[in-house]
Structure 1
Amino acid sequence: MAFLEIDRLSKTFGNVRILKEINLEIEKGGFLVLVGPSGCGKSTLLNCIAGLEPITSGEIRINGRNVAGLHPSKRDIAMVFQSYALYPNMTVAGNIAFGMEIRGVPKLERDKAIARVAETLQIGHLLDRKPSQLSGGQRQRVAMGRALVRDPQVFLFDEPLSNLDAKLRVDMRTEIKRLHHRVKTTIVYVTHDQIEAMTLATKIAVLRDGVLQQFGTPAEIYNNPANMFVADFMGSPAMNLLAASVEGGSEGDVRVSIDRPNAPPLSLPVNGVGEALRPFAGRNVVFGIRPEALTDPDGADRNAHSVVEGDCLIDVVEPAGSDTFAVTRLGGKEVVARLRADARLQPGQTARLAFNLDKAVFFDPSDQSRIA
């Protein structure tokens, strides 16, 4: 049963609709990540859940109770902000305990709660320090401790790692995941970083211009994008999206033809999704394939049902330690292939690449919706 439910939620500022009929739900103890580009409405949605912004229409239910219209203090939630929002004149212990002190929690109980969260977050040695004496990662842990000490029904995180450097962001991501496994509290987490979304979430909601584009598990979002926006937004490097024409009529195999520079078009059989593509015979579609599904023949997935090889002219080779990325041109666009680290390629060389068509997806260019 859903623990947090967002039902037909809309939010309007003046004449501008920021959120448009959002429907989401997450189970108790789940980790929901709201992801999308800047200005898509994800922070506004989080603020609506928190009660910091009133909603225009719809419902927000926590454990079956409609909290829309309730004051934030009545919703039993705790929020961790991007800016940490620590009191500079207080120690770490004072920052963690401040909310409890305001609520009149006895000192003995406050001290036990501080000790508990300090152990969970491994900040016991920092309790007597001031925020100015802490690193960015330590400040973020203190902000998380201040939320944890309340033991709320739902935690809300608003881009908590965006102020940290790249390595610390990775470390803190691991800490947040470990924290979720320990406390098992429902979390709603806002980020524009799709890597954070993929690694942390049990469910992801992809937003664009206030409209929910897709809602599902990380695997569903990554492997079965609902439209071209989701396909392009989720993944690093992004999915290759290139123009292709469908060949094959009412009978026989269906194939897609992809232009190559200074070479005949590349023709690929797509029998696994042939029936869905057959109505598009003689028309253009958008062929999507992720870099890891376009690789050197020796590195291709041996369990795949349909792997087809084709010759491609390599423009750029980018060694990346554990992988080698190769850039070629297909369908009038740059296409990235992800090869083994020891792949021997040179720019200007024509190389044989393997297309794992089990992983290929197709979109209608007229409305960017998924065909197959």
Structure 2
Amino acid sequence: MSFLKISNLRKSYGALEILKDINLEIEQGGFLVLVGPSGCGKSTLLNTIAGLEPITSGDIAIDGRSVSGLHPSKRDIAMVFQSYALYPNMTVAGNIAFGMEIRGVAKEERDKAIKQVADMLQIGHLLERKPGQLSGGQRQRVAMGRALVRDPKLFLFDEPLSNLDAKLRVDMRTEIKRLHQRMKTTIVYVTHDQIEAMTLATKIAVLKDGVLQQFGSPAEIYNNPANTFVADFMGSPAMNLLKGKVETNGSGLAVSLARHQAEPLVLSVPNAPGSLSAYSGKDVIFGIRPEALTDPDGADRNARTVAEGDCLIEVVEPAGADTFAVTHLGGKEIVARLRADVRITAGQTARLAFNLDKAVFFDPASQLRIA
């Protein structure tokens, strides 16, 4: 049974519809990440779960009980905000204990809870400091500690790491992941950072313009995107999406990709799904991730179908563990992810390997996945 269930949820401000028929559910102990570009509705959705925004229609149930009409204080949730929302005149200990104090929790019990979360978050040495004396990462830990002492049914995180620098974001991401593994609590987490979504989530919901584009595990979202928006949004570098044409190749199918000042590159797709056959002779959008487009020696040895072709390399970008190469195919600039020690220079023609097990095809009109 799902622990958090969102059914046919709609949210409007007058004639402006922000959330459009959202259906989601997550099991107890799951980590649901709401991801999408700015203005897609993810924070509004989080606020409706919290009760900070009323819903226009639909339902939200937590642990089998509808909470749609309940005040936020009655929902048994705790929220961690992007802005930390700490009281500047209180110590760290005072900030963590404030909610318990308001609820009339005995001092002995408060002190015990403060010590427990301070040890867990490694902020015991900061308990007597004021928020103004803390770094951004320390403030975020205090904000998390204040939520943790509540021991709620559901934790809500609203872009909690967006104010931190890049290295601290990675460190705090690991801390949140470790915390979830230890406590096995149910979390709903909002971010615009797809790397954060991929590393933290057990389930990801991708939103665009208030519409749920795809809901699934990180692997499903990454490997089997439902449409070109999800394919392009999830992944860094993004999936290469280029114009191609499906052709019959003997008893099988092939995809033809235009090359600059050269004959088209034709890649056989021997294990093509039946749904692609209907596009024979028609244009498609061919999608392949940079790591599935590499130098032949770096190709996946377990792949069933690897096709090779010569491409003019325009830009080479060494990136430590990898080398990225930029070329043109299908009328678009695309990125290949090569081994770090590969010998390749800009301006030369190089042979690239396409792992077609990882290729996906989209309809150019609907932008939906064909196969």
TM above 0.5, one fold? yes
Deviation per CA, 1:284-311, whole angstroms, max 9, x where unpaired? 0000000000000000000000001100
Give secondary structure in 1 for the equivalent of 2:278. helix
Deviations 1:221-271 (A, max 9, x none): 00000000000000000000000011118x722111000011110001112
What do residues 112-131 of structure 1 show as CA deviations (whole Å, max 9, x unaligned)? 00001001101000000000
Q: Tell me by how many angstroms 1:209 deviates.
A: 0.5
- Detail structure 1 runs of 4+ shifted over 4 Å in the superposition: none
In 2, Cα distance between the equivalents of 1:176 and 1:318?
32
Cα root mean square deviation, aligned: 0.8
* 1:257 paired residue number: 256
Partner of 1:126: 126
Q: Distance in 2 between matches of 1:96 and 1:255?
A: 61
Q: Return the letter of the residue paired with 1:21.
A: D
| CA distance, structure 2, for counterparts of residue 272 and residue 286 of structure 1 | 18
Q: Distance in 2 between matches of 1:153 and 1:274?
A: 44
Q: Match of 1:371?
A: 370
How far, CA to CA, are the matches of 2:49 and 2:253 in structure 1? 48
Identify the residue that residue 155 of structure 2 maps to in structure 1.
155
What whole-Å deviation, never above 9, does each CA across 1:133-182 have from its counterpart, x for those lacking one? 10000000000000000000000000000000000000000000011011
Give the corresponding residue for 2:278.
279
Residue 346 of structure 2 is matched in structure 1 by 347
Q: Which amino acid aligns with 1:260?
A: R
Provide the TM-score with structure 2 as the length reference: 0.99
Q: Does 1:358 align with 2:336?
A: no
Q: State the distance in 1 between where 2:120 and 2:265 align.
A: 56
Tell me by how many angstroms 1:327 deviates.
Answer: 0.2
The answer for the alignment partner of 2:289 in structure 1 is 290
Please list the CA deviations of residues 36-86 of structure 1 after superposition, one character each: whole Å capped at 9, or x if unmatched: 000000000000000000000111000100000100000000000000000
- Contact 1:310/1:354 (<8 A) preserved: yes
Indicate yes or no: 2:4 matched with 1:4. Answer: yes
User: Aligned partners of 2:253 and 2:296: how far apart in 1?
Assistant: 23
Question: Deviation at 1:274?
Answer: 4.8
**Secondary structure in 1 aligned to 2:313?**
strand
- Per the normalisation by structure 1, the TM-score is 0.99
Aligned twin of 2:311: 312
The AA in structure 1 aligned to 2:74 is K
Counterpart position of 1:268 = 267
Question: Which ranges in structure 1 are unaligned for 5 or more consecutive residues?
Answer: none
Q: CA deviation at 1:275?
A: 2.3
Aligned mates of 2:240, 2:132 — CA distance in 1: 45
Residue in structure 2 matched with residue 223 of structure 1 by the alignment: 223
SS of alignment partner, residue 268 of structure 1:
strand
Which residue is 2:207 aligned to? 207
Structure 2 CA distance, aligned partners of 1:279 and 1:28? 42
Alignment check: 8 A CA contact 1:253 1:274 kept: no
In the alignment, what sits opposite 1:240?
Answer: 240
